Amino acid sequence: MSNTYDAIVIGGGVIGGSIAYNLAKRGSKVLLLEKDRLASKSSGAAAGMLGAQAEMDGVGSLFQLAKKSRGMFPTLANEIKEKTGIDIDLINKGMLKICLNDQDQQENKRIITTQRQNGEEAEWLTGSEIRKKEPAVSEAITGAMYLEKDGHVDATQLTLGFLKSATVLGVVIKEYVEVHSFKFSNGKVTGIETNEGHFTSDKIIVAGGAWSNKILAETGLQLDTYPVKGECFSVVIQQPLLSSTIFSHGCYLVPKKGGRIIVGATVIPRTFNQQVTVEGISLLMEKAKYLVPSIVEAEWERAWAGIRPQTADGLPYLGEHPIYKGLFVATGHFRNGILLSPITGEVIADLVEGKEPPLNLSPFRVERMVKQYT
């Protein structure tokens, strides 16, 4: 029947796109539904950093996931380019995690030691070493952790790359389709009702970012997640200003192709409001000027915001619904949705197929910390 699919993915962002792409590569007939436009929410708003080491200190289950995912990008970039012509602009020029004070320096030196003990590359740079690598960094900066392997991609192009590659492999994508309810039978999911009618499948994956909780509400599952607004702006500079990504407390500068720099991001919890405020821009601008004073000469481009899904313990939810079989959840990636998208697509496809994933997913299981259970 025409409205029957092997799997239905809910969400046209980077996570949904990766899952649909991975399922299609394995031969599934997939439908992907997006309530708005593709890549229109946080996936299209992200700066695209692949900060596996910068964001995660080099230990723990999330770091293992992130490290594995970071390693998948070179191959992925080629696959997407070949299938769709889309370049995801993978840049591997390292990240400077700037320390703002002594305490910050002590902590990051400790992190370097830990990371090295675990076999990761991490290096301490003094102020003059920083400026030798990145002359635009302020004289006020006296130390930083350098992470050679943390690069970045174009978040929108990665998202569209997954989605268009999925299309090439036969995935059907429908925009402006909103899920109203699930259909269950004998403890298993059997389909969904939407504003464009009914679709049938016994494998349904919720990858709705910050909106996942609402989609799941009627299943009796209330995940302990909340939305976090992040505001960004971009500037363009004629002469190259930065090579590495500059990362610090509450501010990063990501040098994109053609002289564009993305400055991000504020962290405004518990709101779905996507407005950019004067306060957000003002704060980011002050921090960016402190780190890289000559940013003032850059040309203003534009500002935007995205709503990211955070969880109470900071780990994403990757797994099957605790009550309903065939219903899977992939959300809660917070600031690391772009970085974690390749591995998320792979492990969710494993779960959907009933295969053992290549990593232990128990820290990310859905039932670990639901707020209420009815």
Binding residues (CB under 8 A) for a copy of itself: these are: 84-87, 89, 91, 160, 164, 167-168, 173, 175-178, 180, 195-196, 214, 217, 227, 235, 238-240, 256-259, 271-282, 285-286, 288-289, 295-300, 302-303
Query: DSSP string covering 131-144, please?
Result: HHH-TTS-TT--EE
How far is residue 149's CA from residue 107's CA, in Å, rounded to a whole number? 20
If the CB atoms of residues 233 and 334 are measured against a copy of itself, the closer one turns out to be 233
**Rounded to the nearest whole angstrom, what is the least distance from the CB of residue 112 to a copy of itself in the complex?**
28
How far is residue 140's CA from residue 270's CA, in Å, rounded to a whole number? 34
Chain-centre distance for alpha carbon 166: 18
Strand partners, 182: 192
If the CB atoms of residues 83 and 133 are measured against a copy of itself, the closer one turns out to be 83
If the CB atoms of residues 172 and 323 are measured against a copy of itself, the closer one turns out to be 172
Joined tokens for residue 167: 């299309």
* Among 11, 82, 61, 80, CA closest to 41: 11
**Rounded to the nearest whole angstrom, what is the least distance from the CB of residue 289 to a copy of itself in the complex?**
7
How far is residue 343's CA from residue 347's CA, in Å, rounded to a whole number? 6
Chain-centre distance for alpha carbon 172: 23
Joined tokens for residue 256: 């994109």
If the CB atoms of residues 162 and 364 are measured against a copy of itself, the closer one turns out to be 162
If the CB atoms of residues 288 and 339 are measured against a copy of itself, the closer one turns out to be 288
**Rounded to the nearest whole angstrom, what is the least distance from the CB of residue 175 to a copy of itself in the complex?**
6
If the CB atoms of residues 35 and 97 are measured against a copy of itself, the closer one turns out to be 35
**Rounded to the nearest whole angstrom, what is the least distance from the CB of residue 255 to a copy of itself in the complex?**
9
**Rounded to the nearest whole angstrom, what is the least distance from the CB of residue 134 to a copy of itself in the complex?**
16
Name the pairing type of β-strands 95-98 and 179-185.
Answer: unpaired
* Among 160, 155, 95, 104, CA closest to 335: 155
**Rounded to the nearest whole angstrom, what is the least distance from the CB of residue 227 to a copy of itself in the complex?**
8
